[in-house]
Amino acid sequence: MWDIFICHASEDKDDVARPIAEFLRNEGYAVWYDEFTLKLGDSIRKSIDYGIANSMYGLVIFSPHFFSKDWPQRELDGLLTKTDESGKIILPIWHNVDRGIIQKTVPTLAEKFAVSTKLGLDVVIKQILNVLRSGPSISQKSETNEPHLMRYDLGRVFRETKYPLNKSGITTIGKVNCDINIQDDDLVSEKHASLMLNVEGYSLQDENSATGVYFRIPKKQLMQVYTGNLVIVGSQFLLVSKDDEGYKFMHNDENGKMINCYPINEKVIIFGRVSPDITIDDFTISRRHMAVYAKNDELFVIDLDSANGTYIKFHGQIKIEHGSKFRIGRQLFELNLH
């Protein structure tokens, strides 16, 4: 079941449909929107028919593009058959059309209260929320603590968003056509990562993304790292390498330029802003940020309860649990299972 079905022409996605769909989903509503719902191999007609039949409200974005195409009008016909006695099932949005056009094309809806995008999307969304909040909801602000991801935008504007995990067991994260779409971050790939549930719990997988997925090492927990792993300490990048003399951390800046090289041996070596071993002048690094040591030809890292954390760019798949944090592009995610 969905709270709302969004009926629109594809030409109106960028300006109207997608911003509304993403806002409503971020508010916790169950939204049937093609980019959220349709998966490779789905029958489009069957999926749409099922979505219409199982949505409480139908949001229809009337526009010149809408009236020039058959498919959106077929969706409207399906929604009209579901109109309840109060007539509140259809929520009309006018985009570059007026009442005169509506009277000529769908006269049965001409007298229905509508909101125009000329007033701004914030006004449109407010009107939609007024309706959704006044009626029953499938999922809005559910008191049940279902597994979800919290997203924190690390860019110029701080934002916090909650995403329920896909009940199918696989939740995809990327720029488009994923369960969680992040379109305003140029560091995010089309399909960047997947969160998967199996018999052993949840795993995080990098889907061959361009910029990688960075897992936050749990505080004071020993974690093995391998040659080729990239470790982030504050805003500094440390590449794990190995030669005949043993392990080394190659210290690079964000542009990949090498700053220093730190040999690692069986002695515990502490990295930090004020450290007895290796000092890195970076205000985002804690005084004693992390410890590193090699033993039996293996390399280990421990985060020393740092403020901003220690992250590792992993390859393939990694097991995560309640409270695990990871970074994708400029986004920080936290898994919440309680």
Catalytic residues: 75
Q: Which residues contact 156 (CB under 8 A, 6 or more apart)?
A: none
Give the phi and the psi of residue 310 in degrees, each rounded to 5.
-120, 125
Q: Which of 196, 201, 204 is nearest to 167 (CA)?
A: 196
Q: Which amino acid is at 52?
A: I
Q: For residues 8 and 64, is the Cβ–Cβ distance under 8 A?
A: no
Distance in angstroms (rounded) separating the CA atoms of residues 309 and 150 = 17
Distance in angstroms (rounded) separating the CA atoms of residues 49 and 13 = 20
Burial letters 182-191, b for 16+ CB under 10 A, else e = beebebbbeb
Q: For residues 174 and 194, is the Cβ–Cβ distance under 8 A?
A: no
Give 303-319 as a DSSP string. E-S-SS-EEEE-SSEEE
How many degrees, rounded to 5, is the angle at CA 145 between CA 56 and CA 1?
20
Q: Is the dihedral of CA 229, 230, 232, 236 positive or negative?
A: positive
CA–CA distances in Å: residue 25 to residues 19, 140, 157, 217: 10, 9, 19, 30
